[in-house]
Structure 1
Amino acid sequence: MGLRSLVSFGFVLIPIAVTISVLLGIQAYRESKGLPSNPFVDNSIKSSLYCQKAFGVTPYTNGQQYTFWAWLWAPWQGSAICRDFVRFSQPGYAFRPPTLIGQNDTGTNHCSSNVKSDVAILYRNPNQWALPDGYTGPGGLCMNVTTFDNGSYPTKTSAAEWSITWQFPRGPPTQPVHAFPNIKLDSTVFPIEISQVSAINFETEWYYGVGDDRPNVLNVADLTAAQLDANVAVDMFLDSDPKKATDTVQAKYEVMIWLGQFGASTQQIGLPQGAIATQVVNGTTFSLYSGVNGLGQSVLTWVASNAAGGVQTFNADIGPLLQGLTGLGGPTVNDYLGYIAFGSEALDSASNVTFYNKVLSMDVVS
C-alpha cells in the first residue's frame, strides 16, 4: 500500500509541476517581449456613461483609489438625460448625452432607475436649495469614465480619464450652481492634521469645449459664444474636528483653488471685497478671496491670475496654499484636512459643453 500511495502521489505531482513550468515559461517569454507577465489579466479599456443625479463610481486600480461623482446640486424634475436626443419644455434648450469614448472600447450606460418610455428622469430633490416645489425646468449632465480593467494606470497615483457633458439654464442668484461633478481622492491618510502634511502633490491636464465630444483644445471664444458659466477647481474641506473635516456640509472651512473661470456669472465668494493675499506656486500667481457661503462655512478661494484663459496643465505641491491662512480667517495648522476633490462647478450654458480631465494625480504626503 505504501508503494502504491507513493506512485499515486507522484502521478498527482507530475501534472502540477508541468503546469507550473509551462506558466513560468509563458511568463518569462511575455516579459521578454515587454508584455504583461500574466496572460489571464483582462487588459481591456472601457468607457462607462453615468447620468444619475448622484452616483459614486470607484474604478479598480493597483494604486491610489479615486471616486467619481456626477453630483447634481439642483436636479430638475422632468429632465430626461439618457436617450439619444431630448427636447425640454423651455425653447432653445436641448441636451444630448455624449457617446461612449473609443472606437474599440466596450461601453456601458448607467442611467437613473426612474425609467418611463425609455427615458431616464431626474426627479427633483425637495431638499435642494432655492428651487420651488413645482419647478420643472430643463437641464442635464452625464459623466463618462474611461477605465483600465487591469488597474494599471501610468503611475500609482494616476486617476482614470473622465469627462462630463452638460447643459443647464441660468439659475437664481441665490443658487447659480447646478452641479459639481468631480473626482475625489480616497485615502486612508484622511483626516490628517495640517501640521502633519509635508506636501499635497497635484498634477492635471484638462480641456473645456463646446459639444458632446472630448475636446483636445480650449477655445475661450467658443466657450463665450456658448454663454458658458463654469469653473475648474480643486475643492478641500477642513475642520478642528477630524470627523467633521471629512463632511462637506459640517466642515467649518472650504478651501478652493480655481484653475479655470469662465463667464461673468462665475464669481468667487468674497469678490466684492477684493483679494486679501497673493501667492505664487510653481510660476502661477494666485489671489485669495474670503467669505461665507449659504451653509455658514468660511470659504477661502485661491484664483489663478490667468484662470479666465484656463490653467490647463498644472503640476505642483499645493500644500503651501493651506499654510498661513490662520491670520486670514482660515484654518490653523492644528485643524484637519479631510477631503480633496477636483472638478468643474456647472452653472449654466446655452448649449452642450464638455469638460475633459485627461490627466489627474493627487497625493497627500505626510
Structure 2
Amino acid sequence: MALMSTSPSASAASKPTHQDLNEQYGGVLTDSKKYLYGSDQWGDDGSGSQEMTVLLADEHGASFNATWIWEKNFQYVHAYPNVGYESAQLPTKLSNVKAFHLSGSWSVYPEGQEDAPDKTAALNAIACKADIALDIFMDANETSAMNASRAAYEVMVWQSVWGGVWPIGYYEPPVGAPEYNLSGVTYQLFMGRNQQGQQQSVFSWVPTVYQESIDAEIFELVNELVRIGNITSDMYMGVIQFGSETVHAAKKVVLEMNNIEMKLDVKTTKTVTSRPTATSRAAADVFRAQITNFAVPAALGLGAMLVV
C-alpha cells in the first residue's frame, strides 16, 4: 500500500499521521498546508462507494489511497479523488509564471491484486474505466480562476487511461493532433467544451504511451497553448489538482498516489497574510464544483479536434 501505518509505539496523544476522507465532499490540508486533499465524489449516484485515506505528513510530497467501485452510468465521472496545490502565489497571471513542476507516481489495480503481473489486463477484466490527470483552471478574472466551476478554461494533463475513457474532443485514430515532447514523453492535444453550464473550454494533453510516474516541467504545456494562440498570457492560473477520474468498475479498484510534489516558481511574488484554501471560500459553491472534465468514451464523439 502507498501509506505507511502509524507506529504502534506512538502515544495516543501524538499527532495523527493519516486521516480517512470518506465524505462526499471531504477536504483536509497536509501538515505543511501546501497540499489540500479532496474526496470529490460529485457524481455519486448510489451505485458504489469510495473510501479514501490520506497522509498528513508531506515531507516527501502528498500521498493517498482510494478504494472505489461504481457499477452504473459507465459514461459519467463519479468522483475525482485528488490532491490540490495550495500557494499564496495563486492566482497568478501566466506571464508571471517561471515554472510549475510536478512529480510523483501512482498505481491502480483491482482490490487484492496489487501483485498482478499485468495490472492493465486485471483492470480490463473488471471493466474498469478511469484515468489519472492533472487539472489546471484558468480565467481572465482572478477570482473565477480560483473557482473550478466558474473558470472559463481547463487544462488537463493526462497520464494514464483505462477502459476507453477519453478527453473531450478525442478522436480515433488521432492523426494530425498537435504534439509536444515533454521530458521524453510525447503528448497529443485535444479540445472541446464540457457539459457544465458555462461550457468550459477544455484543453487535454494525452501521452501516446501511458505513464506510471512523472517528473516534469508541466508549465511547458501551458506555454505551448499560449504559443499557438489558444489561451493568452494575461490569464490567471488558479485551482490546480492532481488525481483520478473514476467512472466505472464491476469490482473494487485501488488507487495509490505516492509522493506527489508540486512546485510553482513565479517572477514576482506577492505577500498574503492569510489566504483561505480553495475549498473554504464557499463550500457549497466551490468545493462541490471541483468537477473536472466530463470524461466520455470516444465513441460518443463529443468535442472537436483542435485546429492550429
Give the TM-score range, shorter chain: 0.7 to 0.9
CA shift for structure 1 position 211:
0.3
Tell me which residue corresponds to 1:300. 203
1:226, distance to aligned residue in structure 2 (A): 1.5
Alignment of 1:1-366 (within 5 A): 46-61=17-32, 65-76=34-45, 137-148=46-57, 153-154=59-60, 158-159=61-62, 161-171=63-73, 173=75, 176-211=76-111, 219-264=119-164, 266-272=165-171, 274=174, 276-295=177-196, 296-307=199-210, 311-326=211-226, 330-366=230-266
> Deviation at 1:195?
1.0
| Cα distance in structure 2, aligned partners of 1:242 and 1:284 | 31
Which structure's relative contact order is higher, taking Cα pairs within 8 Å and 6+ residues apart? 2
Q: CA deviation at 1:215?
A: 7.0
Is the Cα–Cα contact under 8 Å of residues 235 and 256 in structure 1 kept in the other structure?
yes
TM-score by length of 2: 0.76
Are 2:77 and 2:245, in contact at CA under 8 Å, matched by a contact in 1? yes
Query: Greater Rg, structure 1 or structure 2?
Result: 1
The aligned residue for residue 6 of structure 2 is none
Q: What amino acid maps onto 1:287 in structure 2? A: Q
Amino acid at match of 2:81: P
Structure 1: which 5+ runs fail to align? 1-39, 77-136
| Residues 180 and 190 of structure 1: CA distance in aligned 2, closer, same or farther (over 3 Å) | same
Identity of aligned residues (%): 26
1:314-355 CA distance string (max 9 Å, x none): 101111100132475632111110011100000000100011
3-state SS in 1 of match to 2:44: coil
- Mapped to 2, the partners of 1:230 and 1:256 lie a distance apart of 14
Report if aligned partners of 1:203, 1:315 keep a CA contact under 8 Å in 2: yes
Q: How many residues align?
A: 251
Are the counterparts in 1 of residues 74 and 248 from structure 2 also a CA contact under 8 Å? no
| Normalised TM-score (structure 1) | 0.64
Q: Is the 8 A contact 1:230 1:348 kept in 2?
A: yes
Question: Structure 1 residue 170: deviation in Å?
Answer: 3.5
* Cα deviation digits, residues 93-126 of structure 1 (max 9, x gap): xxxxxxxxxxxxxxxxxxxxxxxxxxxxxxxxxx
Is the 2:21–2:27 contact (alpha carbons within 8 Å) kept by the matching residues of 1?
no
What is the root-mean-square deviation of aligned Cα atoms in Å? 2.3
